[in-house]
A and B are shown apart, each in its own frame.
Chain A
Amino acid sequence: MTAPRATVTGSARLRPSRDARLVPYFLIAVGGLAASLIAGEPALAALAIPFALALGLGLRRIRPVTVTARFVLDTDQVLEDDPVTGRLELEWDGAFEAQVMLDRLRGVAPLPDHALSWSLPPASRSFQTPIRMRAAQWGRHTPGEVWLRMEAPLGLLTWTGKVIAAPALRVLPGSERLTRLLDPAEPRTVLGAHRSKRIGGGDEFAELRPYSPGDRLRDLNWAATARHRRPFVNRHHPELAGDVVIAIDALTDGSAASTAVLARAARAAWALASVHLRANDRVGLAGLDGSTQWLPPAGGRLARYRLLETLLRIGGDAADPVTVRRHVHRTAVPSSALVIALTPLHDKRTVDTLLAWRARGRSVAVVVIETADLLGAPASPAEALARRVLRLELDRRRRQLAELGIPVVTATAEDPMTTIVPALRRARRAPFVRRRRR
């Protein structure tokens, strides 16, 4: 995948901060010299001399330092697990011993053989280095921030601060999966065809009623007419494009397992969105937890791009530890929409949100992202017991949802599509989802 280079340039003005040693050194030096002059005792000046020398060495520069920076990424869009390469260039006014650090990595991970912090020799005035990282998590991220720390000799004064943030990077789900999602093998017969509550022209049978003037002759039900000895006509449900809202539980604790869960949810969400859009449905997207992103249902090609952007923003929120965590159950989900929630059900508040939606009359289907395979074998009997407790709690939450008529299915790692689509078929029990055609 190729994409244009992303470049950010900027400058920062770093103010000096003093070390705790500076004040006592200053007091001893100045106090010693002053006392020596007042008391006429040269030995006091001798005491002050080493400290005065240290101050003279350490305070050669006390002004703020201006740093100019340029951060270039070779591409602004990569696939999961792809390398992220670029270049960092820094320049400052003055000659210092400095340390440069690429910190607060989001959505990317350092490569084992590539450092992300550098110590520069004394009297350095600039710094240039290639950057190599790995795209670790899908989403739209600011991959990192460049921090600079410069020291005066002896470290009596330091200039520390953030210099520049890396350009925004879009990390898309893995190529193999993405290809599959863009060109799904699943048939479109179930997805994206929602029955309207109204009765009118359409293909699906709704009811029988006696013939009245104006009815089309082709709607006559001959069997019923013969049985009742008066004319009866079939009535049909019209087939309209439906609204689908895909809600992603984006709550993550930053661990590899939760990142993998999020990736599974994203792939499933993109698959669902793609097939629904192909079926002329209007598709919306919501961060169910851990993200406040909300995209109202819309259709068409533009909606597809907006969906992808929102999906990436949800991923970015999940990777950002300072994102405000709140629930979105107050989001104005259209009453006619089918809500498909993708969640591992790890957070009870997610269950509460889904129940609240259901209580307000929304059609809700839940796809539980299976996480057991991410944990590996338990390391101790206590851990095994903890997992049993977790499993029981998850089962309880599933039952809690199912008791309110919410279809709950599990998506495994092998092939989520094969489980998600049957889940939607089961969602026909909900009032707004059409029964499967025979």
Chain B
Amino acid sequence: MTRPRVVLASCSVALVALVVITGALLGPEGARTWLLVCGGAAVFAAVQAASSNPADLTPTLVLALPPVLGLLVGGSPAWLIGPLGALLLAASELNALAWECGGADALSAAKRRRLVDVIRLVALGAGASLLVGLVA
């Protein structure tokens, strides 16, 4: 794998790991084991999606939802659900971008633009969802 692809794929997996660990640790204590199992499976699926075709992050998104939605229960910080969702979106986009880089040794101008678009979109989404979460 070329360097841009490795970097983007690693970021994607790291974001998924960050989301599920955050969700599992801040979620309800009683279900933490199951949430960690789901989170581990989500990370495994993210690694699979980053390393082998078909590059489909759907299983990752599905498996990452329980730790995120666990924040709805009890006294967990539910306002974090929106930002964590934005990070999942970022992970999915970075994974797609990693595959589109192919064998290129450097990010092309188009891919750099796309990366900037993704960062903007995630920032906007995180901000909007944070606002909704906090206001509500």
Contacts and interface: CB of A to CB of B under 8 A. Distances in A.
Interface of A: 19-21, 23-25, 28, 32, 41-51, 53-54, 57, 97, 119, 121-122, 153-155
B61 A46 contact: no
Interface residues of B, number: 44
Nearest 4 pairs between A and B by C-beta?
A50-B125, A42-B136, A46-B82, A46-B129
Contacts of A41: 72, 78
Q: Interface of chain A, helix or strand or loop or mixed? A: helix
Nearest to A51: B89
Contacts of B81: 43-44, 46-47
B125 to A, nearest CB: 3
A24 B57 contact: yes
A25 B93 CA distance: 11
30 contacts: A20-B54, A20-B56, A21-B58, A21-B92, A21-B93, A23-B58, A24-B57, A42-B132, A43-B133, A44-B69, A45-B132, A46-B81, A46-B132, A47-B69, A47-B84, A47-B129, A49-B82, A50-B88, A50-B89, A50-B121, A50-B126, A50-B128, A53-B128, A97-B110, A119-B108, A119-B109, A153-B117, A154-B93, A154-B117, A155-B114
Given A20-B55, A24-B58, A47-B82, A53 B124 contact: yes
Contact of B68 (A47, A122, A154): A47
B129 A49 contact: yes
B96 interface: yes
A42 B121 contact: no
A119 B58 contact: no
A50 B85 contact: yes
Contacts of A21: 57-58, 92-93, 96
Contacts of A28: 61, 65, 85
Nearest to A23: B58
B44 to A, nearest CB: 17
Given A20-B55, A46-B136, 12 more contacts: A20-B57, A46-B81, A47-B81, A47-B85, A47-B129, A49-B128, A50-B85, A54-B89, A54-B121, A57-B117, A121-B110, A154-B114
